[in-house]
Amino acid sequence: MESSAYSLPEVLSRQRSWFQQGNTRAIQGRLAALSRLKAAIKAYEPRLIQALYEDLGKSELEAFMTEIGIVLDELSRTLRHLPAWARPKRVKTVLTHLGSKGRILSEPYGTVLIMAPWNYPFQLAISPLIGAIAAGNTVVLKPSELSPAVSGVLEELLAEVFPPEYVRVVQGGVDVSTALLEQKFDYIFFTGSVPVGRVVMKAAARHLTPVTLELGGKSPCIVHKDADIKLAARRIMFGKLTNAGQTCIAPDYLWVHSEVKQELLKAFRSVITEFYGDKPLMSPSYGKMISRRHFDRQTGFLQDAVAVIGGEFDPKTLKIAPTVLDQVTWDMPVMQEEIFGPLLPLLEYTDLEEVIRVTSAHPKPLALYLFTRDRKVEEQVLSRISFGGGTVNDTLMHLATPYLPFGGVGESGMGSYHGRQSFRTFSHEKSVLKQTNLFDLSLRYPSSKRGLRWIRKLLK
């Protein structure tokens, strides 16, 4: 069901009323809602897998591993730990506050807007939703119009679990997104591109609405001369070709030391054949571009660089073969913007200082990957290049652990989530000091003759 702009104020009004009545406050109620969500996802799993195949060509393995399974794990963990996360936290007080007690209370923001992208249309809608519900908010969820099969199943699934006053899916295109951003929400969580992130932040600024922006950028991968090349090739291609490269933290371009360049290219060819056979475009395990526009954008990148691996594509299926590009320069279109496809530009280096200098001269990436067995090289890269999060000797996997907050820095985003951090993202930490009535320290009052002297001593 598409929601027209005129109905949005009514949607928000009902959710605000539901929230103000205290319907989301009780921890047991939140746990019950999350349990119903978990059961519904399990029941809808076959339909979700089919929808993910229709929208993105995802295999059942990839659909479960990167979308459904990771969400079910997040739900299980939240259900176990939510009572502890939500418990008021006692904090110390200073000597000047003798007799008082300090607490931090986690309270929900109210009505939040979650805007989800098309590349992981289930995971990136439900994962932040889990945090928002756990924290006690009501939610308006806007899925992407570019993944209509998943968006349709999402709306049906969530309508079965939650009343619309609690969680409401609002479908539609850019006009609906624009209308939503004109409303006053208590929090906005957006996952998508950097240009649209700027639009979201500008709209939020009108109401001084806090935001989390999960964006993207050109995430580098560095293969140093001492790396395990065969293992690096497998893990890089896994990270690059999952979802046919349509992943915000996929390796966007590759720095490879000149001494191991040819060995790595040979290993890449072997790995691609191992993963998808001699004809990847025919493989049922290999995904497709989300749309013809995105397909045309990817094939346009092929015009300037030299494809030393792959380069084939099929306009009928919207599939592009795993491709490694050589002889690229920073002024080529493929190096000017985030690729978001199965193309991997390759840059050669001999001096690691050059890698650090050039990478740091560009906008801060969402992720960085380094392959090395040298602890000094690891420390050199991690301490001097700013990035949202990353992995040493692997790709993507930092996103899959709930113990590591996931988020960007600079142009790659602001704020983070996953695990306990999701609960904190959607909660306001309210500080409360309770003062004793048993006695009163008069040092702070203007009538105190020795107040300044004692306060200086106490604060020294």
Mean pLDDT, residues 133-161 taken together: 98
The pLDDT of residue 444 is 80
Does residue 22 lie in a domain region?
yes
Q: Is the pLDDT of residue 5 over 70?
A: no
pLDDT in tens, 253-287: 999 999 999 999 999 999 999 999 999 999 999 99
Average confidence (pLDDT) over 215-235 = 97
For residues 236 and 117, membership in a common domain is answered with: no
Residues 382 and 417 grouped into a single domain: no
Looking at the domain assignment, is residue 373 inside a domain? yes
Which pLDDT score, from 0 to 100, does residue 446 have? Answer: 87
Regarding predicted confidence, which is higher, 71 or 304?
71
Q: What's the total number of domains in the chain?
A: 2
Residue 426 lies in a domain: yes
Q: Mark whether 239 and 350 lie in a shared domain.
A: yes
Is pLDDT of 97 > 70?
A: yes
In a domain, residue 446? The reply is no
CATH number for the domain that contains residue 17: 3.40.605.10
> Are 238 and 370 members of one domain?
yes
Asked whether residue 273 is domain-assigned, the answer is yes
230 and 130 inside one domain: no
- Asked whether the CA dihedral 192, 195, 199, 201 is positive or negative, the reply is positive
Print the domain residue range for 175: 5-215+413-432
459 within domain boundaries: no
- Together in a domain, 418 and 277: no
Are residues 185 and 275 both part of a single domain? no
456 domain-assigned:
no
Q: Which active-site residues does the annotation give?
A: 214, 248
- Quick one: average pLDDT of 402-410? 95
Q: Assess whether 93 and 117 both reside in one domain.
A: yes
Domain presence at residue 127: yes
CATH number at residue 381: 3.40.309.10
340-379: per-residue pLDDT in tens? 999 999 999 999 999 999 999 999 999 999 999 999 999 9
